[in-house]
Amino acid sequence: MKLSRPVSWFLLAFGVWSWFIWVSFVKNLWNDASGLAFDAAGDPTAYFWVHLLLAVTSFLLGTAVGAVGLRGLRALRREKNPTPATSPAPPGPTP
């Protein structure tokens, strides 16, 4: 399957955006003082564990989606500027 340049950029941007948003969320979750993430004794609550699981899942999916976008952009670049090792051999006499 071949990805277009706009789709590749979108996937890469989605991966970066996912990391940005969820890293910010985890920082806020860790520093939560409202009592949702940690109880009075300082132990993590179910709210903390569920949202941490959501964040980790989003990190993994964002990484996978961003990697697909990056691979698509690299493939387009190689297609546009083939290296000598991947360009077809010039015609010549056959032995």
Average pLDDT, the chain: 88
How far is 5 from 19, CA to CA, in rounded Å?
21
Domain count for the chain, please give it: 1
- Between the alpha carbon of residue 43 and those of residues 37, 39, 48, 90, the distances in Å are 8, 6, 10, 69
Query: Is residue 87 pLDDT above 60, yes or no?
Result: no
In a domain, 94, yes or no: no
What band does 32 get if pLDDT is binned at 50, 70 and 90?
confident
Q: For residue 27, what are the domain limits?
A: 5-33+42-80
Residue 83: its pLDDT value, please?
66
Q: Is residue 65 part of a domain?
A: yes
Kindly state whether residue 88 falls inside one of the protein's structural domains: no
Q: Is 62 part of any domain? A: yes
In the chain, what percentage of residues exceed pLDDT 90? 64
- The total of other beta-carbon atoms located within 10 Å of residue 15's CB is 21
Residue 70 lies in a domain: yes
Global pTM reads 0.71
